[in-house]
Structure 1
Amino acid sequence: MKIIVPMAGRGSRLRPHSLTVPKPLIPVAGQPIVHRLVKDIAKVLKQPIEEIAFVLGDPAFFGEDVVTKLEELAEGLGAKASIYRQDQPLGTGHAIMSAKPSLSGPAVIAYADTLIRAEFDLDPNADAVIWTKRVANPEAYGVVKLNTNEEIVELVEKPETFVSDQAVIGIYYFKDVAVLKGKLQEVLDENVMNGGEYQINDGIKRMMADGKIFKTGTVDEWMDCGNKAVTLETNTKMLGFLKADDEETLVDDSVVLENSTIVEPCFIAKNVVLKNSTIGPNVSIGEGTTVENSVVKNSLIQTQTHIKNATLDEAMIGNHVKYNGEFTKISIGDYTQME
């Protein structure tokens, strides 16, 4: 089995946090988004992963440090890492075709801006599976239309009348991804574009027209990381899941507590110092950060940051930040929000 991960976008909705760190590498509940996504997919598949192909963008932004981290992720799952570049932002179908040499055999394609919780078996009779989540407002999503055999026969974008309540979440399984490759090559050759981009849906629709059987794999949780508000919500949900699973150490043994309290669930990384502070619930703090004389809840703070004299709720703070709640001298860059 292979996993193909298109992740070439710049994540503009998550600025300023994605200005220096690619969005899929921003940690949520202690691990980068793409790490959690790939590991959760591997759990669902319940079979060895032989290759993970990552489709990156501009090398000036997705540099060698990014490549190294992704190679380590693949190796940790016993898989080969393949790195490809999407030289132009020409859509989901174009991104997949950027990994053309890896498009053979059984594969999952997963766009790296969401996290999931799921437990299901892939239908052995299906040529492909589109992973979905039942939603209360299907008119806001792209949804699948099913026939009486529970097979997907159409993809409908933001339907004005009810089609189904199963929203497409951006994760797909193909029994032989080379079939999709062939259809997407036709899309590129014929210059079939929607919104100025080549879309994966156009390849999928051609597979359906050829009689390929598509089924659904419905996930229990679908958590977005598209902007600050939903990323904080995802951090909260993920911390709750991790505490219930009890599979990961959430508070590192090296954390220094000086007259401070941790209200679970929280993730607190190595070499964090907490002084005269109350942390939690639903807080993630990255390695080497210090928090003094503060109250922090429902927040995400990254590495090597110093927080002092602050009361924070629903805050998202990046790496190497100095924040003093009693500040008079400040230096604030583009896209910063203080509310």
Structure 2
Amino acid sequence: MPTAKVAVVPCAGRGTRLRPLSDTIPKPVLPLGERPALFHIVEEAIQAEISRVILVVPADPLLQRLAESALADVPVKVDFLTQKRPTGLGTAVSLACRYLASEGEERFLLQLPDVVRKPHALGALKVLQDIATESGHAALSLSSKFVSEASQHGVVEVRESGPLSAIKEVTNFIEKPRGYKSAKSDIFIAGGRYAFATEEILRALPESLLRDATEDCEVDLTFALDAAIAQGALLGVPSEDYADIGSWDGYREASAAHFKSLPKRKGHAGE
């Protein structure tokens, strides 16, 4: 299978978990250390050998202006697509896929901006890239850290496997379930990094489905993940290399870690 050369970052979400801060500063450009979160996300994509990044942004031009400034010195091409209404992650990804199909891009990586790699961590994006290329299947990162907060994340159930097996076969995906409980031991949270084939997403998210989407009835990524699961073609890779900056506690923790990782500088007051 061809290797993905494009990463998609959907940035048109409303950032409700970080209000009121996200009402004035778009979540993807919140500072983490010396750089905005979006810079760290694109940096990870570059290390996964991506040569082009597509940002799906809201109609309000503020985020695009801030993103252009934040990414002015990155060594990859950055394109912008506008999602006119915040009608869900599925809508944003489908919009990007239609653009990718017109450009002849067969595969892509997906990075959710709620999730940022921890300082000095390897991350899972390059691993997902390699697995998807070798197997031809879709793949996603998994985390066990936030299972107790299942209602805020997508729950992933995987096939029981031995402790030495790093790659899991995903058997079920449940989008932000309320009151989720399970006696199974192999339960994870969707980790915010994915590898997909463009055509698979277009089949799973047809335009007829998107036309009915509203802000109160969003289209999420579950349709695409369910389609891959039905074919036995969705693989998961556990990784705890990421921080969830979409919540106050997570953003506070990630900010502290990034500032702590910076080298100490000498200086005087007033300089």
Structure-1-length-normalised TM-score: 0.63
Distance between the aligned counterparts of 1:139 and 1:32, measured in 2? 26
Q: Does 1:85 align with 2:82?
A: yes
Deviation by residue 1:119-138 (Cα, 9 ceiling, x = unmatched): 55332215111111123645
Counterpart of 1:229 (choices 230, 249, 265) is 249
Cα offset for 1:257? 1.7
Structure 2: 5+ residue stretches without partners? 162-167
Distance 1:146 1:16, change over 3 A: closer
Report the equivalent of 1:27: 31
Cα offset for 1:4? 0.2
More strand by share: 1
- In 2, are the aligned partners of 1:14 and 1:226 still within 8 Å (CA)? yes
Amino acid at match of 1:170: G
Distance between the aligned counterparts of 2:203 and 2:147, measured in 1? 34
State the secondary structure of the residue aligned to 1:84: strand
- In 2, are the aligned partners of 1:118 and 1:219 still within 8 Å (CA)? no
Distance between the aligned counterparts of 2:90 and 2:210, measured in 1? 12
Q: RCO (CA 8 Å, sep 6+): is it higher in 1 or 2?
A: 2
Cα offset for 1:187? 6.3
Distance between the aligned counterparts of 2:182 and 2:214, measured in 1? 25
Amino acid at match of 1:109: L
Distance between the aligned counterparts of 1:127 and 1:91, measured in 2? 24
Report the equivalent of 1:197: 218
Written as runs of structure 1 = structure 2, the 5 A alignment for 1:287-306 is: none
- In 2, are the aligned partners of 1:90 and 1:198 still within 8 Å (CA)? yes
Distance between the aligned counterparts of 2:187 and 2:158, measured in 1? 11
Distance 1:137 1:145, change over 3 A: closer
Distance 1:61 1:189, change over 3 A: closer
Amino acid at match of 1:167: I
State the secondary structure of the residue aligned to 1:256: coil
Q: Does 1:4 align with 2:8?
A: yes
Q: CA RMSD in A?
A: 2.9
Distance between the aligned counterparts of 1:58 and 1:136, measured in 2? 32
Distance between the aligned counterparts of 2:204 and 2:140, measured in 1? 17
Deviation by residue 1:212-246 (Cα, 9 ceiling, x = unmatched): 51111222232122244331211122344x35xxx
State the secondary structure of the residue aligned to 2:206: helix
Amino acid at match of 2:206: Q
Distance between the aligned counterparts of 2:201 and 2:229, measured in 1? 11
Counterpart of 1:156 (choices 164, 170, 174) is 174
Distance between the aligned counterparts of 1:166 and 1:81, measured in 2? 32
Q: Does 1:66 align with 2:88?
A: no
Distance between the aligned counterparts of 1:42 and 1:251, measured in 2? 26
Cα offset for 1:26? 1.3
Cα offset for 1:12? 3.7
Q: Does 1:207 align with 2:205?
A: no
Q: Does 1:142 align with 2:154?
A: yes
Report the equivalent of 2:164: none
Report the equivalent of 2:206: 185
Structure with greater Cα Rg? 1
Deviation by residue 1:165-185 (Cα, 9 ceiling, x = unmatched): 3210222112x2232122112
- In 2, are the aligned partners of 1:187 and 1:202 still within 8 Å (CA)? no
- In 1, are the aligned partners of 2:158 and 2:172 still within 8 Å (CA)? yes
State the secondary structure of the residue aligned to 2:62: coil
State the secondary structure of the residue aligned to 1:62: helix
Distance between the aligned counterparts of 1:54 and 1:12, measured in 2? 19
Q: Does 1:109 align with 2:119?
A: no
Distance 1:113 1:136, change over 3 A: closer
Distance between the aligned counterparts of 1:4 and 1:151, measured in 2? 24
Structure-2-length-normalised TM-score: 0.77
Amino acid at match of 2:154: G
Deviation by residue 1:78-137 (Cα, 9 ceiling, x = unmatched): x22111011011001011122221253221111112212445533221511111112364
Distance between the aligned counterparts of 1:224 and 1:2, measured in 2? 23
Identity %: 20
Distance between the aligned counterparts of 2:215 and 2:160, measured in 1? 30
